[in-house]
Structure 1
Amino acid sequence: MPFYLFQGRYTSDAIKAMITKPQDREVAARSMIEAMGGKLHHMFFCFGHDDVVALIEAPDDETAAGCTMIVGASGAMSGGATTKLLTSAQAQAAMKKAGAGVAKYTPATG
């Protein structure tokens, strides 16, 4: 199954709710992802631009997008992004394909 990196920012209301009533958001995320046929490998709260990052495995892009839509529709996030990840083997296969097609590409010139 493909891997995806989710990065998200909670709304101020969601952060206030977690301060008022501390809760394990990983349990909620895992339940939803598993119900959609995926697997939550890791979820971390973090400093910086994002509040949370998660490594997710899903059967396909549509499932990953559906998970993202559920989280987005909840109103708990003020923004985020989902990035499809490639294994090293997949990246090497892409490199081989690029090597086979590179001779057919003409870069833009000024």
Structure 2
Amino acid sequence: MAKFLLKSTYTVDGVKGLAVDGGSKRVEVVRAIVENAGGRVESMYFGFGGHDTYVVCDLPDHKTAAGLAIAIRAAGGVDTRVEPLLTAEEIDTATEQHAGYQPPGR
């Protein structure tokens, strides 16, 4: 499984739904959709800065993450962005990949 960060900002309708349902209900809904996609929610937090919710979750792959984001955004209550998260070990492996990139002008 791969780890992802889902950052969401509520639409006006989404905020209205949050006011009715409360935060705990939203966590249940998020947990259900992630689990139905074959994943697992590690944590969910609410914020009031750049985004309204932050969900750290494990999902089977990037296609699943994209499908989840599309389904959530298409529903219209939140604008969701998905970011892959990498462990230090994954970065260590990535630094061992020598792509042979040469910047322009060199």
Q: Please say whether Structure 1 and Structure 2 have the same fold, judged by a TM-score greater than 0.5.
A: yes
AA aligned to 2:10 is Y
Q: What SS is found at the alignment partner of 2:76?
A: coil
> What value does the CA root-mean-square deviation take over the aligned residues?
1.6
* 1:64 to partner: Cα distance: 0.9
Aligned residues: 105
| Residue 105, structure 1, aligned to residue 101, structure 2 | yes
For 1:82 and 1:21, the matched residues in 2 are separated by 24
Worse overlay, 20-29 or 40-49:
20-29
For 2:64 and 2:17, the matched residues in 1 are separated by 28
Determine what percentage of the aligned residue pairs are the same residue.
Answer: 29
For 2:80 and 2:7, the matched residues in 1 are separated by 5
Unaligned runs of 5+ in 2: none
* 1:74 to partner: Cα distance: 0.9
Question: What's the counterpart of residue 90 of structure 2?
Answer: 90
Question: What's the counterpart of residue 65 of structure 1?
Answer: 66
Deviations 1:23-75 (A, max 9, x none): 52010011111111011111110021100010010111111111111111111
After TM superposition, list the pairs within 5 Å mapping 1:22-37 onto structure 2.
22-23=22-23, 24-37=25-38
For 1:60 and 1:41, the matched residues in 2 are separated by 16
| Larger radius of gyration between Structure 1 and Structure 2 | 1
